[in-house]
């Protein structure tokens, strides 16, 4: 029997390669461009924690933008498919992934009219996702964009394309716009709570990471939703170096109307001015390079009593784990006296 032997040259070469990669990663990237996007269509990816109000914000924002004669396409990239439901008054929009599968089984091709629908000038579609336990949501996102490309995504004539992404899923599919420079800028949606700001900070970290790999995507700012005035989200935005594009108050009227799938971002309405300002800020804010916070820096934005900052980590013992005193077993290791 022949036993394979690793030559000493192989680990040396691997070491050299790893050193080269470390040296390359240590080089600071160029500053994020603040110039106007070179593409005619401005593609904006919006990220945030599940349930933080991305879909509510985007459905109303896209509606307002359309009323301002900005040709806008809204693409829901969350497996829950709730972005277009809010826009279409609670009606489900056929998802691209599901429609594509059914068409393929029937031997038919997917057409625009099968997956893209309109309301008052807003164009919208949902990527969808696999059934629970039957696939990877991130892979579904990738498949959905592959289908969009076949439908001519890069040739479509829109002023703005808004992408609604789930921010607390860290797999590559949900990071697609950042990793592949598919958008010019990112917007994060958060609130005055630790979990949503943790997700927003992770998105900023992803932007920073891909910038170091040669990416060009920056963060244009933050939308504070359900703002109760306590100020943690504003402090976070200031700390990472991004502007607050709008603060949507924690208001019972907004909550009730959103629960009833009612669009409140209409010109002349009670909340129209708020979304008019958000539309202007979203479209004009340049992408910037954020400075993500460490976990301790994130915690420092909150009152210590609220987040348990004073808790001390107490190491467990083997006795704790086994429920009895630890038995010191003699070692079989042979120890030679030094000569």
Write out the catalytic residue numbers: 49, 54, 80, 168
CA–CA dist 278, 263 (Å, integer)? 15
Q: In this structure, what token pair is assigned to residue 23?
A: 């040296």
């Amino acid at each position: 029997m022949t036993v394979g032997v690793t030559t000493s040259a192989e680990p040396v070469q691997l070491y050299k390669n790893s050193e080269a990669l470390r040296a390359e990663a240590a080089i600071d990237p160029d500053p994020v461009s603040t110039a106007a996007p070179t593409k005619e269509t401005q593609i904006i990816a919006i990220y945030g924690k599940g349930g933080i109000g991305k879909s509510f914000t985007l459905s109303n924002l896209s509606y307002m933008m359309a009323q301002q004669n900005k040709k806008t396409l809204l693409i829901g990239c969350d497996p829950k498919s709730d972005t277009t439901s809010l826009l279409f008054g609670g009606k489900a929009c056929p998802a691209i992934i599901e429609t594509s599968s059914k068409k393929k089984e029937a031997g038919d091709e997917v057409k625009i009219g099968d997956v893209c629908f309109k309301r008052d000038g807003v164009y919208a579609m949902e990527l969808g996702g696999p059934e629970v336990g039957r696939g990877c949501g991130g892979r579904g996102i990738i498949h959905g964009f592959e289908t969009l490309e076949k439908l001519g995504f890069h040739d479509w004539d829109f002023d703005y394309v808004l992408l609604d992404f789930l921010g607390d899923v860290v797999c590559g599919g949900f990071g697609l716009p950042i990793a592949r420079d598919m958008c010019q800028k990112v917007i994060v949606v958060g609130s005055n709570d630790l979990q949503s700001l943790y997700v927003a900070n992770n998105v900023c970290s992803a932007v920073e990471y891909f910038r170091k790999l040669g990416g060009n995507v920056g963060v244009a700012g933050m939308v504070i939703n359900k703002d109760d005035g306590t100020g943690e989200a504003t402090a976070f935005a200031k700390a990472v170096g991004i502007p607050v594009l709008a603060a949507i108050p924690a208001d019972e009227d907004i909550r009730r109307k959103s629960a009833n799938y009612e669009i409140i971002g209409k010109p002349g309405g009670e909340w129209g001015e708020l979304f008019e300002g958000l539309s202007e800020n979203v479209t004009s804010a340049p992408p910037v390079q954020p400075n993500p916070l460490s976990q301790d820096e994130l915690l420092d934005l909150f009152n210590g009593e609220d987040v348990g900052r004073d808790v001390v980590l107490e190491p467990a013992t083997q006795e704790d784990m086994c429920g009895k005193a630890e038995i010191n077993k003699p070692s079989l290791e042979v120890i030679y006296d030094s000569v």
